Amino acid sequence: MVHDVSIDVEPGQVVSIVGPNGSGKSTLLKTIAGVVTALSGQVLLDGNDITNWPPERIARAGVGYVPQVNDVFGPLSVRENLEMGGYLLHRKEIAGHIDKVVGYFPTLGPLLGRRANKLSGGERKMLAMGRVLMLQPALFVLDEPTANLAPAIAQRLLHEHVRQLSVGGASVVIVEQRARAVLEISDHTYVLGGGRLRMAGSPADLANSPDFVDSFLGGHATR
């Protein structure tokens, strides 16, 4: 699915990966999170090779992964979801971390007792990100957090929340279909197509490149 793709993420950076459907972005993220096995290549975290570690070990190493679908525990309450996010924390730390996450996503505050599968799309995605935030990971891995969200909510999520994740020095890798929107919050962007790297650069360079729009809407095979 994905061939020979190299991506670097620096601390405090938001790095976005964009590209048409089926270009292998999700597979790449799953490989980083350990949910699928890499056939070749390496995933390095702070210089340590974490390739093909089991996902629970990768989580312990400081990678917080938010899948595109099945991103929360539906039958569990919002609070319980956050507790699962903080599973590796000491018992006494959990309440404090939940308060911090609620401070970060105030929407979740009044919803703590609600079952996760009763949330709206935007609330659910905030919970998924909040769940990951519980451990304050060194690297956030977000797979299309705005898929299925209304445009206004998507914009808010990206600007108010995703960008903020990196403020404390954490890194963010985000895959998005809303390429223009994600460019605005990225420090560096990679464009994937057909499982290969097509373009890379700073958001400003890419936004002005005619090839960029083409890589989405103009069949790259024909031109």
Partner 1 sequence: MSLLLSSLGFGLVTAAVLAIASVGFTMQFAVTDVLNLAYGAVMILGAYVGYAVNQAGLSVWLGVGAAAVSGAVISVLLNRVVYTPFRRRGTAPIAMVIVSLGMTLILEFGLQSYVGGNNVSYQLDQGPTVRLGGLQLTVAQLVIMGISVAAMLAIHTLLRFTRLGKAMRATAADRSLARTCGIRTDRVVAATWVLSGALCGLAGAVFAMDAGSFGATSTDLFLVLILAAVFLGGPGQPYGAMLGALVIGVGTEVSAAYLTPAYKDVVAFVLLLIMLAARPTGLLGSRN
Partner 2 sequence: MGNGVVFYLTTLLVYAGVDVLACLGLSQQFGVAGVTNFGFIIFQAAGAYVASVLSLPGDSANGGFQTYLGGWNLPFPIPWLGAALVGGLLAVPFTFLVGRRLRGDFAAIGLLVTAVMANLLVTNYRPLFNGSAGLSLVPAPLQDRFDPQSLGYQWAYGITAVVLAALVYLFLRRITESPYGRSLRAMRDNDLVADSLGKNLVSLRLAMLVLGGAIAGLSGGILVGFINLWAPSGWMYAETIVLFAAIIIGGAGNHRGAILGALLVPLAFEEVTRFIPQFGPPGLIPALQWVAIGALIVLFIWFRPQGVLPERRRITARFDNAPDPPPAARTEPRTPPPADSVGEVVLAAHGLTRAFDGVPVVSDVSFQLRRGRLTGLIGPNGAGKSTTLAMLAGTLAPTGGSVLHHGQDITRLPAFRRARTGVLRTFQLASEFKRLTVLENLLCAVPHQPGDSFHGAVLGRRHWRDAEDRAIDRAAAMLDQFGLTGHANQYAGDLSGGQRRLVEIMRALMAEPEVLLLDEPVAGVHPRLAHEIGARLLDLCAGGMTILMVEHELAIMDEFCDPVVVMAEGRILAEGTMDVLRSRSEVVAAYLVG
**Contact positions vs partner 2 (CB under 8 A):** 20-22, 68, 117, 121, 144, 146-151, 154, 177-181, 213, 216-222
The H or E element that residue 199 is part of is: strand 196-201
Q: CB within 8 A of 202, min separation 6: which ones?
A: 187, 188, 189
Select 60 or 180, whichever has its Cβ closest to partner 1.
Answer: 60
Residue 222: name its binding partner from partner 2, partner 1, none (Cβ under 5 to 8 Å by kind). partner 2
Distance, CA of 10 to CA of 87 (rounded, Å): 27
Identity of the residue, 55 or 195, whose beta carbon is nearer to partner 1 in the bound complex = 55
Q: In one letter, which amino acid is 138? A: A
Among residues 60, 100, 163, 220, the one that binds partner 1 under rule CB under 8 A: 60
CA distance 102 to 126: 10
Shortest distance in whole angstroms from residue 114 CB to partner 1: 15
d(Cα 34, Cα 106) in Å, to the nearest integer? Answer: 31
Contacts with partner 1, residue ranges (CB under 8 A): 33-35, 54-56, 58-60, 65, 67, 70-76, 80, 83-85, 87-88, 91, 131, 135
